[in-house]
Structure 1
Amino acid sequence: MAEWDELRLYSCFKCRNHVARHDDIICKTFMSGNWTAFLFSHAMNILLGPAEDRQLLTGLHKVADVYCYACRERLGWKHERAYEESQKYKEGKVVLERFKIIQEN
């Protein structure tokens, strides 16, 4: 595994807590309302809110909001379940809103 100083990381914009690795990005063209977002295979140093059904741009999904573990800022959401077959690839993945994270190194 690469050393920490060699990793490209994303951090919470508010407190700089590391929340994701660049290597875990699946897609950089997600939309969150009017904002861009990244789809990650997983995230770290986060807390999950309760899962709930939510109507998103691509249909109904069961999602849980994702919060920074350090400062509790809402950063995005985790896809717990996709009801449409074409959206199943999102299950277990994390969406982080681009304006809520900053790229380190």
Structure 2
Amino acid sequence: MGFTYRAYLDEEAKRCKIYACSNCRSHLSTFDHLISKDFHGVHGKAYLFENVVNIVVSHESEERVMTTGKHLIRYISCSGCDEELGWKYASSYIFCILKIKAYERDQKYKEGKFILEKCGLEMINIMTTTKEFIFK
């Protein structure tokens, strides 16, 4: 086992908000990496992100049937507190008559993206400079 380094998104988030773990406040992603708020997770509303930091991705993939079809996912948790946050889409596929995997083209955009459940997120506003802080 080794020491885990956490990424801080302060510089990247000068003009946008940061999404953090609601349990330990580890930075996870920024508003710039948010793709959609129109998703549902296990515990309700969820968001789709392009990039996420400070997470641990499970080694095992799981095939899940969702409203948009079958998806191969890997669960993700916070690297700071081990709180379950959502999942990462590994690939989307359907079974043909010959049981050959074929990708669903309309769902392919999700591959490599992350679902973070809203209940596990907290929004953080970063003050970029002391001057802005004083005069706001």
TM-score (norm 2): 0.71
Tell me the secondary structure at the aligned position of residue 81 of structure 1. strand
Matches within 5 A, 1:77-88: 77-83=87-93, 84-88=104-108
Higher relative contact order (CA 8 A, sep 6+): 1
Identity in percent: 38
What is the CA distance between 1:53 and its match in structure 2?
1.0
1:91 aligns with 2:111: yes
1:54 aligns with 2:74: no
TM-score (norm 1): 0.91
Distance 1:101 1:93, change over 3 A: same
1:76 aligns with 2:86: yes
Question: How many positions carry a matched residue from both structures?
Answer: 104
Partner of 1:10: 19
Query: Counterparts of 2:13 and 2:89 in 1: how far apart (Å)?
Result: 30
Query: Counterparts of 2:44 and 2:11 in 1: how far apart (Å)?
Result: 32
What is the CA distance between 1:54 and its match in structure 2?
1.2
Task: Name structure 2 gaps, 5 residues minimum.
Answer: 1-9, 94-103, 126-136
Opposite residue 79 of structure 1, the aligned amino acid is: Y
Partner of 2:49: 40
Query: Counterparts of 1:104 and 1:53 in 2: how far apart (Å)?
Result: 33
Provide the aligned C-alpha RMSD in A.
Answer: 1.6
